[in-house]
């Protein structure tokens, strides 16, 4: 018994949560399941990059491991477990990510994780693993992880993060509980971004139309000059289609931005298909590139556009999966394909 009366003991307080407000409802739902003992041992946390998925995973992990979580809705930040977590030395928390100069999460990394998850907990009784990108697991890594998903240890939690459900093998999807993050209150997000930006700008309007489910990606797009670069890139693609640019020269020029370029091409394709089908320039998002988009639509018919879209999706899939293939050659091949489609259309006209 304490030497002091219970009313003299300082109350346990929670630190300020870093959770994004648009993810609060999903977080509270998971917390309720944890408190009731009904939470699944593996959570598949699904959401696009820029929605705050990693912050969600970190907040949940720290709260589960917090020694005062039964009393609080956010980690206290002051117990020994929280201090170890903040210092990135918590023995019961394991973050699994692609190592430096690697493209995939190796099977050896997964095996080390499995061994650690089978040990006794050092602090609160819980052990937790956070796999930051399920798409970065290769086939051997998946197979090694599968046994842990099938035969979990008591008081263990796995957080598996992914951008898209199709990136996750069916064997893992069926053994996990889906937690899908989404942004529903667009007006609130617009106000939040405008306040951070110091006002609503044309770049921010464009970014919000392109990334309605990824507030941080929209902010980066508006702040980092990506809007201008995206416009320059689409103009280059238009010139390529018209035979005024070399595919190899463009491939070299834009190779350092290949990941962004693939995303911009998908955004471009969305507008191209809308423009072709609706024949209404007001419906497209990339209003600043209307002329370039119109030129491309005048060159490629619907069938050619769909063929091109498939190639872009294939390359972006390789990038997302951290494929070890020669991305430089694949990038060159895609731009050569763009040029060839335009030439075939011109010959058949």
| pLDDT of the residue at 322 | 66
Residue 343, C-beta contacts closer than 8 angstroms, at least 6 positions apart: 243
Alpha-carbon distance of 154 to 127, in angstroms, equals 9
| pLDDT of the residue at 226 | 87
At 25-55, the pLDDT tens digits run: 999 999 999 999 999 999 999 999 999 999 9
Contact indicator for 218, 211 with CB cutoff of 8 Å? yes
Average predicted confidence (pLDDT) for the chain: 89
Domains of the chain: 6-180 (3.40.50.300), 225-348 (1.20.272)
12 pLDDT tier (thresholds 50, 70, 90): confident
The helix or strand, by DSSP H or E, that contains position 157, with its residue range, turns out to be strand 156-162
Contact indicator for 133, 167 with CB cutoff of 8 Å? no
Q: How far is CA 140 from CA 45, 199, 221, in A?
A: 22, 49, 36
At 275-304, the pLDDT tens digits run: 988 888 888 888 889 999 999 999 998 899
Q: How far is CA 244 from CA 108, 249, 250, in A?
A: 49, 11, 11
Q: What is the pTM of this model?
A: 0.83
| pLDDT of the residue at 346 | 64
Q: Average pLDDT in the 235-254 region?
A: 96
178 pLDDT more than 80: yes
218 pLDDT tier (thresholds 50, 70, 90): very high
**Among 3-17, 74-88, 221-235, where is mean pLDDT lowest?**
3-17
Q: Average pLDDT in the 160-177 region?
A: 91
| pLDDT of the residue at 336 | 96
């Amino acid at each position: 018994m304490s030497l002091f009366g219970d009313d003299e003991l300082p109350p346990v307080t929670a630190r300020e949560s870093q959770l994004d407000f648009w993810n609060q409802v999903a977080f509270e739902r998971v917390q309720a399941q944890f408190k009731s003992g009904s939470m699944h041992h593996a959570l598949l946390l699904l959401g696009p990059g820029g929605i705050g998925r990693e912050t969600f995973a970190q907040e949940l992990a720290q709260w589960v491991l917090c020694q005062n979580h039964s009393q609080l809705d956010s980690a206290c930040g002051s117990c020994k477990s929280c201090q170890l977590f903040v210092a990135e030395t918590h023995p019961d928390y394991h973050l699994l990510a692609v190592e430096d100069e690697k493209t995939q999460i190796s099977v050896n990394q997964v095996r080390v994780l499995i061994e650690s998850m089978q040990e006794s907990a050092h602090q609160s009784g819980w052990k937790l693993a956070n796999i930051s990108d399920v798409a970065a697991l290769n086939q051997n890594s998946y197979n090694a992880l599968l046994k842990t998903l099938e035969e979990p240890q008591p008081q263990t939690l796995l957080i598996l993060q992914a951008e898209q459900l199709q990136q996750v093998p069916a064997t893992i999807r069926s053994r996990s509980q889906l937690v899908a993050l989404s942004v529903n209150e667009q007006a609130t997000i617009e106000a939040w971004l405008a306040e951070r930006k110091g006002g609503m700008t044309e770049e921010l309007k464009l970014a919000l139309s392109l990334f309605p489910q990824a507030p941080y990606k929209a902010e980066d797009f508006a702040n980092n000059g990506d809007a201008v670069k995206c416009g320059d890139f689409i103009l280059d693609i238009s010139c390529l289609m018209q035979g005024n640019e070399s595919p190899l020269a463009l491939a070299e020029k834009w190779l350092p931005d290949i990941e962004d370029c693939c995303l911009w091409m998908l955004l471009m394709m969305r507008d191209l298909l809308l423009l072709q089908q609706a024949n209404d320039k007001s419906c497209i998002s990339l209003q600043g590139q209307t002329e370039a988009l119109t030129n491309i639509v005048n060159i490629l018919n619907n069938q050619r556009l769909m063929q091109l879209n498939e190639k872009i999706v294939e390359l972006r899939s390789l990038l997302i999966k951290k494929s070890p293939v020669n991305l430089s050659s694949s990038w060159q091949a895609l731009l050569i394909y763009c040029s060839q489609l335009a030439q075939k259309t011109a010959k058949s006209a």
